[in-house]
Amino acid sequence: MKIIQIPVNGFDNNFSYLIVGKNNEAVLIDPTGDLNKILEEINKNNLKITLVLLTHSHPDHSENLKYFSNTKSIIPKKGVLGEEKVINISGLVIKLIHLPGHTKDSVVYLIENNLFTGDTLFCRGVGTTAYGGNEIELKNSLNFLCLMNGDITLWPGHNYGGSSCTLKEALLNSKIKPSKKTLDLLKNKIEQYELNNSKKNKI
Ligand SMILES: [Zn+2]
């Protein structure tokens, strides 16, 4: 697997990403900003795009989606905190995790040890809830991230204080300190969710 981070400028220091899997097939995350920069990378690396993923519905993350209208895409819908879906494509295993807050439809994508966070968490700071978001949901989602392995590499949707860092650094830089009470609540919720899921999978 190879990650190509493309600084596409766009609305405000946006990033698009190409995740290269087997046979030069690649997944494109948040096609936005300068389309030429994206196409240059695709051509230079001789890639075939098999799937387009969006981290959320804000237009500054999907400006170029129409250009890839012949490619399968995943446009997230409103989801429950921590709800997951696994996508297998081009030799990649992609875990979509719903983390509402910045918007109701915000998700992150975990691919191996890499987390593509859109506008939920940057290297320094978190996304605003002013445009269709919810403060409490965002807090819960950030708490959820606190429970993940801090050594995961974070790839944000904008260059706000860095182009990538570890999850631990991003949480620290953004002063996310979850309360123990919230963490316990979340842990229970996640365990319950996983329990239900494993029951479902057994049937
Ligand atoms: Zn956004």
Q: What percent of the chain has pLDDT over 90?
A: 85
pLDDT at 200: 63
Ligand 1 centre from 110 Cα, in Å? 18
Ligand 1 centre from 39 Cα, in Å? 23
Q: List beta partners, residue 25.
A: 48
Q: Find out whether 54 and 30 touch, Cβ atoms under 8 Å.
A: yes
Ligand 1 centre from 201 Cα, in Å? 33
Ligand 1 centre from 103 Cα, in Å? 7
- Both tokens of residue 139? 């807090």
Ligand 1 centre from 55 Cα, in Å? 8
Domain range for 105 is 2-202
Greatest alpha-carbon pair distance for the chain in Å reads: 50
Q: How many CB atoms lie within 10 A of CB 23?
A: 11
- Both tokens of residue 57? 């519905």
Domain count along the chain:
1
pLDDT of 179 strictly over 90? no
3-state SS class at 39: helix
pTM listed for this prediction: 0.90
pLDDT at 202: 55
Ligand 1 centre from 22 Cα, in Å? 30
CATH code of the domain covering residue 76 = 3.60.15.10
